[in-house]
Amino acid sequence: MTDERSATPSDEQRSDPEAASVVDDEPSAVDAESDGDPFTIADFHDASQREGRPVLTAAAVARALEIPHEDASDRLAALAEDGDLERLSVSTDPVVWYPTELEDLTDRERVVVFPKRREIVVDRPDQFTRAQLAQFAHLADANGEQGYRYVVRPEDVWSTPHDSFEDLARTMRQALGQRAEDLEDWVHSQWDRAHQFRLTTHEDGYTVLEAQTPEIMGNVARQKLDEEHVHAPISETEDWVREGAEAAIKRILYEAGYPVQDHRDLEAGEELAIELTVSLRDYQRTWVDRFAEAGEGVFVGPPGSGKTVAAMGAMAHVEGETLVLVPSRDLAQQWADTIVEYTSLEPHQIGQYHGGQKNVRPVTIATYQIAGMDRHRSLFDDREWGLVIFDECQHVPSDVYRRSTHLQSKHRLGLSASPIREDDRQTEIFTLVGPPIGTDWEALFDAGFVAEPELEIRYVPWGDDEQQNAYASAEGQEKYRIAARNRGKIDEVRYLLSAHPEAKAIVFVDYLEQGRELSEALDVPFLSGETPHHERRRLLEEFRRDERDLLLISRVGDEGIDLPTADLAIVASGLGGSRRQGTQRAGRTMRPAGGALVYVLATRGSREEDFARKQLQHLGRKGITVREQRVDDGAGEDED
């Protein structure tokens, strides 16, 4: 048989340019194939991305795509014939090539995969792409609409909401617009790891650890676990688990790279009909659906994204008696009020258990400290909870709070704006409670559900020579304390409040002495841990009702109470605190209303400068713009 590609054109084809182009196009399309894959404009864009410029020579394409120079020239010529590329002769090289529509390279959504680093860089992604990426990757950096960097971590694959690897691979290809084989192979290996172990309930009522194979049981579980965790083997792939050791087993194997699937038949508790009286936003509904599939999880989202309301959606799904654990009695009261406001439950169905009152009801809100005390534990252990909610669950790994996680329930749900721990124990959050479930912050900003605050670090001069000299001679933590209490910040707070006379403002301080000084200077009450609970509630209610436009508050406001929405937040001190603290304080302005401002004051030339940058840099990676401004010695005046 004659090969059509080498056939001599007929006289008719020679005389007809359009017919001749059909013959010419066939060999160029086939010649432009590599291992059966056609060379397309997308391949040129890939090469352009790797080389870092939109105009390429054949040599550059050959280098980027690792093909011979002659093949690159032929393929570029074929694309030019199709009208996808333009060629231009220049003096330094015979020919350069660029897209016919150059703006196609710069304006379109662009996804670039780096398999070895397991990173995905996306320019101008649409909401669909970001939603797909969020199902298997972590948003590590975002700098507005032009650049998003995702990292695919083991824990992202382990917690993906897919029933099979085929479903996950389909989502990956939709998000990436291509099949990244090396990345898929690694994701597949992590998927397999996540399905090697599971906890089940034996017919006699005790817990069993099961492994997929005798090899994985012997080489991993029986190497990592001891008599504190298991009684004895039942078979080559099963071990009898000691009562109460389940959480430790999950943590140990998770840290070994093998998350455990929890399929125990836990008690669901008494049924409790709950209906929401408010509609969930689309992303909140997605959170609840993912929680419903897994039976556990941690809702991760910025302040103002409605995690508490979404948690009530989870309560309505479970329809079982619920225990809510919170860091403080102030939050317990706010939870009780919110449940009455947004669900069909009546006040008599809701109890609080803490230092102020001790009532166990179908829905009980307790503090972590009380739930972890031996003399109170039996009250919670004896009741079968259908759902346990861990508010501000970033505290859970701490030695004081983790005892509360021993409480067993069929479903567990955590809530956190920023599950970051300075002791790097954040992975324990997800083994003790459940996998992370959330939406990237930038998506909420774009959709208008949460207002992106404007953050500005303001470097303030010393207020007097005495403090400056004391700082110079101090050492260690004392340097930080002196810089934090710089009296020059009092004038700067005054200036910022006067510059925004219509704003409802919250001023944060870390030190009682500084709080008292500001309270006297501004003639406002200072809300701290020393403030009686009834006085706290009164001040907060006045702020909510617009009867008060300024709150001065200590670190008790970071997590212990649900602060009202503010237009302006001024962080006068607290920069040596955690990254989570920075998120919480910035987040006090993150609500649907726009125009929110956050000013962070740092003493110029002190350690606070570095603390401020480090504390807020992770907010920059979430897409929030962080500015820096040097305050002149004349209070409030900035340098260009």
Model confidence pLDDT, tens digit, residues 279-332: 999 889 999 998 998 888 889 887 778 899 999 999 999 999 999 999 888 889
The answer to whether residues 571 and 476 belong to one domain is yes
Q: How far apart are CA 547 and CA 541, in angstroms?
A: 8
Q: How far apart are CA 254 and CA 158, in angstroms?
A: 10
Average pLDDT for 391-395? 81
The answer to whether residues 617 and 502 belong to one domain is yes
Q: Which pLDDT score is estimated for 23?
A: 33
Q: How far apart are CA 630 and CA 289, in angstroms?
A: 47
The answer to whether residues 434 and 295 belong to one domain is yes
Q: Which pLDDT score is estimated for 419?
A: 59
Q: Which two tokens stand for residue 388?
A: 């346990």
Instruction: Please name which of 272, 268, 269 lies closest in space to residue 345, comparing C-alpha atoms.
Output: 272
In a domain, 54, yes or no: yes
SS3 category, 387? strand
Q: Which pLDDT score is estimated for 63?
A: 86
What Cα–Cα distance (Å) separates residue 407 from each residue in 204, 233, 388, 402? 21, 26, 8, 10
Q: How far apart are CA 450 and CA 516, in angstroms?
A: 33
Q: Indicate if the pLDDT at residue 268 is higher than 70.
A: no
Using only C-alpha atoms, what is the Rg of the chain? 30
Per-residue model confidence as pLDDT tens digits over 488-540: 999 999 999 999 998 889 898 988 899 999 999 999 999 988 888 888 888 88
- 216 contact partners, CB below 8 Å, separation of at least 6: 196, 197, 258
Q: Indicate if the pLDDT at residue 220 is higher than 80.
A: yes
Q: How far apart are CA 623 and CA 452, in angstroms?
A: 9
Q: 353 near 359, Cβ under 8 Å?
A: yes
HSE-CB for 218 with a 13 A CA cutoff: 5
CATH of the domain at 65: 1.10.10.10
Per-residue model confidence as pLDDT tens digits over 133-183: 888 998 877 765 457 889 999 988 988 878 899 999 999 998 898 889 999
Alpha-helical regions (H) of 199-305: 214-216, 222-224, 246-255, 282-294
In a domain, 266, yes or no: no
Q: How far apart are CA 122 and CA 110, in angstroms?
A: 5
Q: How far apart are CA 22 and CA 113, in angstroms?
A: 36
Q: How far apart are CA 27 and CA 21, in angstroms?
A: 10
The answer to whether residues 510 and 384 belong to one domain is no
Instruction: Please name which of 618, 522, 513 lies closest in space to residue 570, comparing C-alpha atoms.
Output: 522
Strand extents, DSSP E, 419-534: 436-438, 454-460, 505-508, 526-527
In a domain, 22, yes or no: no
The answer to whether residues 438 and 457 belong to one domain is no
The answer to whether residues 584 and 603 belong to one domain is yes
Neighbours of 282 (CB within 10 A): 12
Q: What is the pTM of this model?
A: 0.59
Q: Indicate if the pLDDT at residue 43 is higher than 60.
A: yes
Per-residue model confidence as pLDDT tens digits over 80-126: 888 888 777 654 455 777 666 554 445 567 888 888 889 998 887 77
In a domain, 639, yes or no: no
The answer to whether residues 335 and 439 belong to one domain is yes
Q: How far apart are CA 158 and CA 261, in angstroms?
A: 10
In a domain, 6, yes or no: no
Query: Which residue, of 139, 163, 186, is where some domain finishes?
Result: 186
Q: How far apart are CA 584 and CA 256, in angstroms?
A: 32
Q: How far apart are CA 477 and CA 467, in angstroms?
A: 15
In a domain, 271, yes or no: no
In a domain, 19, yes or no: no
- CB under 8 Å, gap of 24 or more: what pairs does 71-77 form? 71/34, 74/28, 74/31, 74/32, 75/31, 75/32, 75/39, 75/43, 76/44, 77/28
Q: Which two tokens stand for residue 131?
A: 């939603």
CATH of the domain at 586: 3.40.50.300
Q: Which pLDDT score is estimated for 494?
A: 94
How many domains in the chain? 5
Q: How far apart are CA 354 and CA 328, in angstroms?
A: 8
Lowest mean pLDDT among 356-360, 373-377, 466-470, 557-561: 557-561
Specify the pairing of strand 93-99 against strand 85-90: antiparallel
The answer to whether residues 226 and 312 belong to one domain is no
Neighbours of 478 (CB within 10 A): 12
Q: How far apart are CA 532 and CA 369, in angstroms?
A: 19
Query: Which residue, of 105, 125, 140, is where some domain finishes?
Result: 105
Share above pLDDT 90 across residues of the chain, in percent, rounded to a whole number: 31
Q: Indicate if the pLDDT at residue 377 is higher than 80.
A: no
Using alpha carbons only, give the angle 591, 458, 504 rounded to the nearest 5 degrees: 35
- CA torsion angle 157 158 159 165 (round to 10): 60
Average pLDDT for 445-454? 66
Q: Which pLDDT score is estimated for 576?
A: 44
The answer to whether residues 174 and 207 belong to one domain is no
Q: Which residue has the higher pLDDT, 191 or 375?
A: 191
- 287 contact partners, CB below 8 Å, separation of at least 6: 297, 299, 301, 310, 313, 437, 438, 439
Neighbours of 311 (CB within 10 A): 27
The answer to whether residues 530 and 607 belong to one domain is yes
- 518 contact partners, CB below 8 Å, separation of at least 6: 490, 493, 507, 509, 526, 552, 572
Mean pLDDT of the residues in the chain: 79
In a domain, 248, yes or no: yes
The answer to whether residues 496 and 622 belong to one domain is yes
Neighbours of 419 (CB within 10 A): 22
Q: Indicate if the pLDDT at residue 3 is higher than 80.
A: no
276 — phi, psi (to 5°)? -80, 140
Query: Which residue, of 105, 123, 142, is where some domain finishes?
Result: 105
SS3 category, 623? coil
**Residue bearing tokens 């408010």:** 278
Q: Which two tokens stand for residue 357?
A: 């009152």
Q: Which pLDDT score is estimated for 19?
A: 37
Per-residue model confidence as pLDDT tens digits over 402-449: 556 556 667 889 998 765 444 445 566 777 788 888 876 666 766 666
The answer to whether residues 332 and 357 belong to one domain is yes
Per-residue model confidence as pLDDT tens digits over 246-260: 888 988 998 899 999
Sign of the CA dihedral running 19, 20, 21, 24: positive
Q: Which two tokens stand for residue 538?
A: 């009164």
Q: Which pLDDT score is estimated for 341?
A: 94
Q: 282 near 306, Cβ under 8 Å?
A: no
The boundaries of the domain holding residue 151 are 111-186
